[in-house]
């Protein structure tokens, strides 16, 4: 029941109860008064009859009954309204207000791991539900912020660790140059490691740009998506046998740019390790779009499957990649409301499955 309607019902009920009680009091007082003599003069059949006169104590009792009736006419309706307010507070307001106060206190104490009970469908119940929704969104934001902070710490640690060796080599080369003992190989090494540091810095900048990239939802037809995946696969893995499985018709709503970036990373990674065959599969399940890229190569290392992609986590000594393709794809999937799953399938090789939350 709505708050206004509940207050009206309780007020009417309590006032009517007070009036009923007042009527009972008047009947009770009238019944008592009728047992006492009234006094005065009564004319009946032409005769004058003088009834019995009430005693002094009976007069006092009759006066008290009249005063009691007058006081009841004021006190009972007022108390009925007061009782309606008390009942209204305890029935409709007390529990929601207590729940909201407790929720505010816990949020102020940085405790978001709770839920606010919704005990009714009235305005305060809707307010409690909205407050709980706000708490859930705040909890998600805090968890996402915490995840990004921890990811940034790991990224900075990996970046610092991977810069140590190039910096050490550069210091040694500079020392040789100062001593005049540098040869052509030292100059080439200086150039190589300088380029390597530049690539590290560019990789760090690309990650920051990915974190700031907005998600823009737009429509894309399955036929257009098929042609783009086919063209991308031919450019990145033209020497391998390609198989693409996806719906032929339909329209999907997602961030087209983020999807293609992830697809390029996964297909390019599969092309580096595939022996002869790459399979691309695209399917929709409920509110998610799944992109799977499978190659027939040696598969992912057990550590990569267990711990997930890490920044600058190279699978070999190829310094041109730094293992950033899978890591950036994972970041983009999380930004789009999905995940990136890595697994090795027996008889196939490595499979990377990227999921994206889509609008329907």
- Give the tens place of pLDDT for each residue, 80-139: 999 999 999 999 999 999 999 999 999 888 888 888 888 888 888 899 999 999 999 999
In the chain, at which residue ranges do the beta strands (DSSP E only) sit?
Answer: 42-44, 47-49, 218-221, 241-245, 251-254, 277-285, 288-295, 340-345, 349-357
Q: What is the mean pLDDT of the chain?
A: 83
pLDDT at 164: 72
Q: 220-231: string of b/e by CB count within 10 Å (b at 16+)?
A: bebeebbebbee
Q: Span 218-357: which CATH code? A: 3.30.565.10
Write the DSSP assignment of 264-310 as a string of letters. HHHHHHHHHH-SSEEEEEEEEETTEEEEEEEESSS---HHHHHH---
Q: Can you tell me the distance from the alpha carbon of 338 to that of 330, in angstroms, rounded to the nearest whole number?
A: 9
The model's pTM: 0.54
Q: Which two tokens stand for residue 20?
A: 């009923």
Q: What does the pLDDT read at residue 120?
A: 85
How does pLDDT run across 267-313, given as a tens digit for each residue?
Answer: 988 888 888 899 999 998 888 999 999 998 888 888 888 877 876 65
Please state the domain extents for the chain. Answer: 3-111, 149-211, 218-357
* pLDDT of 22 over the 70 cut: yes
- Name the more confident of 238 and 9: 9
Highest mean pLDDT among 43-57, 149-163, 262-276, 313-327: 262-276
């Amino acid at each position: 029941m709505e708050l206004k309607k509940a207050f009206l019902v309780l007020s009417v009920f309590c006032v009517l109860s007070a009036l009923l009680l007042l009527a009972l009091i008047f009947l009770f007082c009238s019944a008592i008064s009728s047992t006492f003599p009234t006094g005065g003069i009564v004319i009946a059949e032409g005769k004058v009859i003088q009834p019995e006169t009430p005693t002094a104590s009976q007069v006092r009792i009759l006066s008290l009954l009249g005063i009691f009736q007058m006081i009841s006419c004021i006190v009972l309706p007022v108390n009925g309204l007061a009782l309606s307010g008390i009942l209204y507070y305890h029935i409709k307001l007390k529990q929601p207000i207590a729940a909201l106060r407790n929720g505010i206190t816990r949020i102020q104490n940085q405790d978001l791991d709770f839920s606010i009970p919704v005990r009714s469908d009235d305005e305060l119940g809707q307010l409690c539900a909205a407050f709980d929704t706000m708490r859930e969104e705040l909890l998600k934001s805090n968890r996402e912020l915490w995840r990004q902070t921890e990811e940034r710490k790991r990224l900075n640690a990996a970046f610092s660790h991977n810069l140590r060796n190039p910096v050490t080599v550069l210091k040694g080369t500079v020392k040789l140059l100062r001593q005049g003992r540098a040869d052509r190989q030292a100059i080439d090494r200086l150039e190589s490691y300088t380029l390597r540091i530049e690539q590290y810095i560019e990789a760090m900048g690309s990650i920051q740009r990915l974190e700031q990239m907005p998600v823009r939802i737009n429509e894309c037809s399955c036929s257009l998506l098929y042609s783009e995946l086919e063209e991308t696969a031919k450019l990145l893995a033209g020497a391998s046998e390609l198989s693409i499985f996806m719906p032929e018709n339909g329209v999907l709503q997602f961030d087209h740019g983020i999807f293609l970036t992830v697809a390029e990373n996964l297909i390019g990674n599969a092309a580096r390790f595939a022996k002869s065959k790459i399979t691309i599969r695209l399917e929709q399940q409920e509110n998610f779009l799944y992109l799977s890229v499978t190659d027939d190569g040696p598969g992912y290392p057990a550590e990569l499957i267990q711990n997930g992609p890490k920044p600058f986590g190279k699978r070999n000594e190829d310094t041109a990649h730094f293992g950033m393709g899978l890591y950036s794809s994972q970041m983009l999937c999380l930004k789009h409301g999905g995940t990136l799953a890595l697994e090795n399938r027996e008889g196939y090789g490595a499979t990377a499955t990227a999921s994206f939350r889509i609008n329907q």
